[in-house]
């Protein structure tokens, strides 16, 4: 059964979904004796005992990236993929239009070049300075949003289109102003519940409070994970790293949302 596009939790009313989950949990847990949790698939309710079974499954299994599942008793796309297989959750590798496909290609080329700050931890460097100036700010500032603007600008030049992205180096400024430039915003909660809303070429935005944020480009959607290309980060996924990196993030780690500049 394919992921239904929402988080399944206590009180779920779709009997078909509940039955499929109970059958999968019974098979996956296959417990005996005092530890046994046997769920009745013909009882179409998601109650406390089913939540307990989901938590036990989550405690004993890993996600598609080999990381522990969050034992919260709710079935999002990551837990669904662990139960039914990753082919049963949304995957998307194609951008919605030519401009966003070009954005991804431009970003991927920068990642392949191995762009790094020079000197280390300086927010400077030959490429970094260019990103920041293109976004209209001086070199030496945090540059993740400037990197995305530069990628959009290069892609617009290559495709003969106007750059639709807000010219800014501020992640949260971009989030606030994007609708005025024709972009669609997708809230983090909506995207976590339904990864099918996301496509390559969209931008993710994270909010760390105090006006601090981080952003990057979605390269692929893989169920409850996204593969991203980001500036001013590193393998630790920090917002103040030293280069352009390709990373894999859980959707639940994106706490603000996504910005979509696709036409239509």
- Give me the domain span that covers residue 37: 15-88
Q: What is the pLDDT of residue 238?
A: 79
Does 95 fall in a domain?
yes
Over the stretch 23-61, which tens digit does the pLDDT of each residue have? 999 999 876 555 567 899 999 999 999 999 999 999 999
Over the stretch 229-264, which tens digit does the pLDDT of each residue have? 999 998 888 778 899 999 999 999 999 999 999 986
Q: What is the mean pLDDT of residues 69-83?
A: 96
Q: Is the pTM above the cut of 0.85? A: yes
Over the stretch 145-154, which tens digit does the pLDDT of each residue have? 999 999 999 9
Q: Are residues 59 and 121 in the same domain?
A: no
Q: What is the pLDDT of residue 36?
A: 66
CATH of the domain at 238: 3.90.1720
Q: Are residues 150 and 244 in the same domain?
A: yes
Q: Are residues 106 and 21 in the same domain?
A: no
Domain boundary among 58, 88, 118: 88
Domain count, the chain: 2
Q: What is the pLDDT of residue 195?
A: 97
Rg, C-alpha atoms of the chain: 21
Which of 83, 110, 105 lies closest to 95, judged by CA? 105
DSSP-assigned letter for residue 96: S
Please identify which residue in the block is written with the tokens 């500032």: 141
Q: What is the mean pLDDT of residues 60-78?
A: 94
Q: What is the mean pLDDT of residues 4-11?
A: 96
Does 169 fall in a domain?
yes
Query: Is it the case that residue 201 has pLDDT exceeding 70?
Result: yes
Q: What is the pLDDT of residue 153?
A: 98
Q: Are residues 224 and 111 in the same domain?
A: yes
């Amino acid at each position: 059964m394919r992921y239904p596009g929402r988080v399944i939790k206590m009180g779920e009313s779709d009997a078909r979904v509940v039955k499929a989950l109970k059958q999968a949990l019974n098979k996956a847990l296959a417990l005996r004796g005092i530890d046994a949790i046997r769920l009745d698939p013909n009882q179409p309710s998601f109650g406390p005992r089913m939540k307990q079974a989901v938590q036990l499954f989550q405690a004993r299994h890993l996600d598609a990236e080999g990381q522990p599942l969050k034992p919260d008793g709710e079935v999002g796309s990551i837990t669904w993929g662990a139960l039914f297989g990753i082919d049963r959750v949304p995957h998307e590798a194609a951008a919605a239009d030519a401009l966003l496909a070009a954005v991804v290609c431009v970003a991927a080329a920068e990642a392949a070049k191995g762009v790094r700050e020079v000197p280390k931890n300086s927010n400077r460097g030959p490429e970094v300075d260019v990103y920041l100036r293109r976004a209209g700010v001086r070199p030496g500032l945090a540059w993740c949003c400037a990197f995305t603007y530069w990628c959009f600008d290069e892609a617009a030049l290559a495709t003969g289109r106007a750059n639709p992205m807000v010219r800014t180096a501020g992640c949260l400024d971009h989030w606030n102003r994007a609708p005025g430039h024709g972009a669609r915003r997708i809230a983090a909660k909506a995207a976590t519940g339904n990864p099918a809303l996301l496509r390559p070429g969209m931008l993710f935005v994270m909010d760390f409070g105090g006006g601090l944020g981080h952003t990057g480009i979605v390269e692929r959607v893989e169920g409850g994970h996204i593969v991203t290309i980001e500036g001013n980060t590193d393998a630790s996924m920090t917002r103040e790293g030293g280069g352009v990196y390709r990373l894999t993030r859980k959707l639940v780690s994106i706490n603000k949302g996504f910005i979509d500049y696709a036409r239509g």
